[in-house]
Amino acid sequence: MKLTGVELREIRLPLVAPFRTSFGTMTDRTVLLVRAESTDVEGWGECVAMADPLYSSEYTATCADVLRRFLIPALGRVRDLDAVGVAPALAPFRGHRMAKAALEAAVLDAELRTRGVPLARELGAVHDRVPCGVSVGIMDSVPRLLDAVALYLDQGYRRIKLKIEPGWDVEPVRAVRERFGDELPLQVDANTAYTLADARHLARLDPFDLLLIEQPLEEEDLLGHAQLARTLATPVCLDESITSARSAAAAITLGACTVVNIKPGRVGGYLEARRIHDVCAAHDIPVWCGGMLETGIGRAANVALAALPGFTLPGDTSASNRYYRTDITEPFVLADGHLPVPEGPGLGLAPLPDALEEVTVGTEWIAL
């Protein structure tokens, strides 16, 4: 297909409750949406970058800038465009994986709508629903944490992930284990908050039989993760460190992880995410789909990805109401701890015009 133009749309959604991690507290979510348009179809993508460069070096404003100035014009010069051709066309521009992922997703959605093919089928999904976990932020007190976990378990979530940081790790984990028992699938996420000097302290989590500890050290410290993995009984999972299939292969070879969290936005798109899935499957490394507080646009694509065979652990593909009172699409609703995989062409859904307009901060049309 030939693109006629791309719309960049910034929206802002209030969260149902503040969400605190080791890199800060969020009360709302600023999201950059990408709508790619050809002569007879449009497709949607969601940029997962945050408003500030805290989780990663990318943030919303830089993504909009690089899309506007470089990435979208580059695709405009491609005469016979398909989703597979997006990454090669954008390869001359270093980094900016989250921006590239959003643009590729929009092209992929448009292409699959034209072909009448659901994203899940295109990626190689084998399930029609996926089990869901939930990420629980850092709380002001252990009693508040226990109340939150109880609520999510009552709602049917199949796995609990606790955000941790120095000073909020062993005691909250112990409290959750004592309250909800050893059968609860439980894991923790450090978001790079520790150093290798904390290895002995992190080993205090071993008795709690966690599924994994996610990204304990800085994202570039693969050797440190490998050393830490040799000292912990708890499996080490990498998140921020995994930026491509090549980096996943390197981490596995070094022994830096035994589990991988795949976030499509972080790795440059859903096609690269599938390659990481395949690399991990070839090495018997389980994977799961992480979340970035996506709207229904990004959630639909993540659920499709999580239906691939190597995703053997529940992901952070929570229901819409985990973060938002009103989503910009028809909401994803938890049923028996699972979300259904969309069946329609492409993403299988689109934004609801009124809901989208209500939260829109600004739009920009880039004609090609």
Q: Which residues are catalytic?
A: 163, 263
Residue 72's alpha-carbon distances to 59, 165, 241, in angstroms, are: 17, 39, 27
Tokens standing for 191? 């978001």
Residue 89's alpha-carbon distances to 48, 74, 107, 299, 325, in angstroms, are: 21, 7, 13, 26, 38
Tokens standing for 95? 């980094």
Residue 59's closest CA among 24, 85, 90, 86?
24
Spatial separation of the C-alpha atoms in residues 8 and 35, rounded to whole Å: 7
Spatial separation of the C-alpha atoms in residues 43 and 114, rounded to whole Å: 10
Give me the residue label for tokens 């930026």.
243
HSE-CB of 246 using CA atoms within 13 angstroms: 1
Helices within the chain (DSSP H only): 60-66, 72-76, 86-90, 97-115, 119-123, 142-155, 170-180, 199-202, 222-231, 245-254, 264-267, 270-282, 296-306, 353-359
Give me the residue label for tokens 């989703």.
83
Is the Cβ–Cβ distance between 211 and 184 less than 8 Å? Answer: no
**Max CA distance (Å), the chain:** 61
Task: Print the SS3 string covering 65-117.
Answer: HHHHHHHHHHHHCCCCCCHHHHHHHHCCCCCCHHHHHHHHHHHHHHHHHHHCC
Spatial separation of the C-alpha atoms in residues 64 and 57, rounded to whole Å: 14
